[in-house]
Structures are given as structure tokens and as C-alpha cells.
Amino acid sequence: MGQLCFCENEAKQDSIFCGKMCENDARRFFMCLSKDIDENAIAKGFWEKDGFEERCIKLALIHSEISEALEALRHDYPKSSTIQFGNFEEELADAMIRIMDLAYKCKLDLFGAVLAKHTYNKTRPFKHGGKKC
């Protein structure tokens, strides 16, 4: 598997990033984007209250975005009418936006969790020991 670093540093290390500064920059960008997403959701009225039930609803809405992505893929929907990407990309983006918003609201380190889980997954066997898909 190739490196995920996008910087110009040629001294790549045996990690996801070529150096600590890249990881810190990526983490900072991710957190700033998550904060901006959350502030926009609040401004647009999507967080009128916060609590267990509201967070459960947000989780269900993430599921609905994934379902919409499945339908876009199944029916090979063309480009989105609102952004310059395919409908499948738009629905996946919607899901990511909702995930990042919920994680930010819950004060979760989603960036760290994704890196840790990805690192762990690299150690797992092919198809994780016999899964069909």
C-alpha cells in the first residue's frame, strides 16, 4: 500500500505520513473543517438542541446518506445538479459531512481514530480471515 502523504518530502517513513509535521497539518485541517461544518450546521438550524435523542437522529441521518449513495451507485445517476461532482460522490460527501459534524459535537478524535483503525487494518489478514465482502 502506498503512502498517503501529499507533501514534497522525499524522506518517507514507515507510516501513513512522511513526518510529524504532515500529520499535525492534516489533523489541524481536519479539525478546522469539522469545526466549520459544525458551525454551518448550527447556523442552518440543524442543531437546535443537543442530547442523546438528537445524536441518535444524526446517526440515522448518516445512514440515510449512505443509502442515498447506494441508490446513486445502483442507478448510475449522472452528475449532481448542485455541485460539480457525480451524485455518488455528493452523497458520500454528505455522509462524511454528517459524520464529521457529529464527531465534532461529541468531542471525538475522529482523525486519530481513523489513523489508528487504518494502521490496525493494515495488520489484519486478507479479507480479515474469511469475510466474503
Angle at which helices 87-105 and 110-121 cross, to 10°? 120
* pTM, entire model: 0.81
Give the phi and the psi of residue 130 in degrees, each rounded to 5. 120, 5
Q: Tell whether 80 is covered by a domain.
A: yes
What HEC string does 34-98 produce? HHHHHHHHHHCCCCCCCCHHHHHHHHHHHHHHHHHHHHHHHCCCCECCCCCCEHHHHHHHHHHHH
Over the stretch 52-63, which tens digit does the pLDDT of each residue have? Answer: 999 999 999 999
118 falls within a domain: no
Instruction: Let me know if residue 101 belongs to a domain.
Output: yes
Q: What is the mean pLDDT of the chain?
A: 85
Please report whether residue 82 resides in a domain. yes
Domain-embedded: residue 37: no
Q: How many domains does the chain have?
A: 1
Q: Containing domain of residue 77, as a range?
A: 50-105
Please compute the mean of the pLDDT values over residues 78-102 and round it to a whole number.
Answer: 90
State residue 15's pLDDT score.
55
User: For residue 74, is it within any domain?
Assistant: yes
**Does 59 reside within a domain?**
yes
Q: Considering the domain boundaries, does residue 131 fall inside one?
A: no
Give pLDDT, residue 24.
84
pLDDT confidence tier of residue 29, bands split at 50, 70 and 90: very high
Tell me the mean pLDDT in the region 106-127. 94
CB 105 within 8 A of CB 47: yes
pLDDT digit string, tens, across residues 66-87:
999 999 999 987 777 778 888 9
- pLDDT given at position 103: 97
